[in-house]
Amino acid sequence: MEPNKDKAKLIEEQNQKIKDTLDQIKHRIVVFSGKGGVGKTTVSVNLAYALVLDQYKVGLLDADITGPNVPKMVGITDMPWIDPENRHIMPQEKEGLQIISMAPLLPQNQPVIWRGPLRSNAITQFLSDVVWGELDFLLADLPPGTGDEVLTAAQKMLPQMAIVVSTPQEVSLMDCRRAVNMAKQLNIPTICVIENMSGLICPHCKKEIDFFGKGGGEQMAKEMGVDFLGSVPMEIDTRKSSDEGTPTVLSKKKSPSAQSFMDISEKIAKLISAKKMNRFQ
């Protein structure tokens, strides 16, 4: 067989494996942001666990190949199991959540110095080679910006929903608008915004301080004609929980931030029900 035909056959086989994977996943959501530092991974992890607490079967794909932080936030340190014969990868399970990430596959503190095509290929392999099984939701935590990984996830994962995470201040909202417009250009059916770090809860007096302002995300979502899912306040316990590998929705269930994530997960379920999203809508 000619080299080009060999390559075409491999691509065809990989695409078929992805289709077989997606056939078993009801709803697919990509979580991204126009810029870094807005707490996108914190949102992804806690939102995934909020859906688990709502009795859904959930998977979380850490698609931030060069900055994979999900395992640290959920307390995973061991390697995933890989079948050497057919290269199947079993996702790691923690507290009912199925997780795959590049981090456990790398030596500690080893940088991933890869160009865009290699990073995109890793995401493709996470969709084709990981045995996700039947899921109600698969969330992909994407890297910040509007680069190759976002394009690959949209093209291969066929998400029905994009969640764009922003903070309230204008410098973040500027990039959030670009991310929303990218999701529109990629024809993702439902686009939503979450305003993270919306007020700081004082650990002493419990009053809320508008550290980055408040309400900018909701106003921006309204102006751009997309759904606003809610706002999440900053709390010291949220940061501590992430560092300790115990997400706040599990460790501090009654905290304002945990309650915000639970409210947002309910809104997602209602949106999906109202719009009757199916596997390939």
User: Are the beta carbons of 90 and 76 closer than 8 angstroms?
Assistant: no
Band of residue 280 on the pLDDT scale cut at 50, 70, 90? very low
pLDDT at 102 over 50: yes
Find the range with the poorest average confidence among 117-126, 158-167, 213-222: 213-222
DSSP string, the chain: --HHHHHHHHHHHHHHHHHHHHTTEEEEEEEE-SSSSS-HHHHHHHHHHHHHHTT--EEEEE--TTS--HHHHHT--SPPPB-TTT--BPPEEETTEEEE-SGGGS-TT------HHHHHHHHHHHHHTB---SEEEEEEEPPSSSSHHHHHHHHHH--SEEEEEE-SSHHHHHHHHHHHHHHHHTT-SEEEEEEEEEEEE-TTT--EE-SS-SSHHHHHHHHHT-EEEEEEEE-HHHHHHHHHT--HHHH-TTSHHHHHHHHHHHHHHHHHHHHT--TT-
Output phi, psi for 79, to 5 deg: -85, 145
Band of residue 277 on the pLDDT scale cut at 50, 70, 90? low
Q: What is the pTM of this model?
A: 0.92
In whole angstroms, give the CA distance from residue 156 to residue 235.
Answer: 36
Domains of the chain as residue ranges with CATH: 3-274 (3.40.50.300)
Band of residue 157 on the pLDDT scale cut at 50, 70, 90? very high
Query: Per the structure block, which two tokens stand in for 49?
Result: 């666990």
User: Are the beta carbons of 29 and 137 closer than 8 angstroms?
Assistant: yes
Mean pLDDT of the chain: 89
User: Are the beta carbons of 230 and 195 closer than 8 angstroms?
Assistant: yes
Q: What pLDDT, on a 0 to 100 scale, did the predictor assign at position 107?
A: 78
Q: What pLDDT, on a 0 to 100 scale, did the predictor assign at position 40?
A: 94
Q: What pLDDT, on a 0 to 100 scale, did the predictor assign at position 199?
A: 79
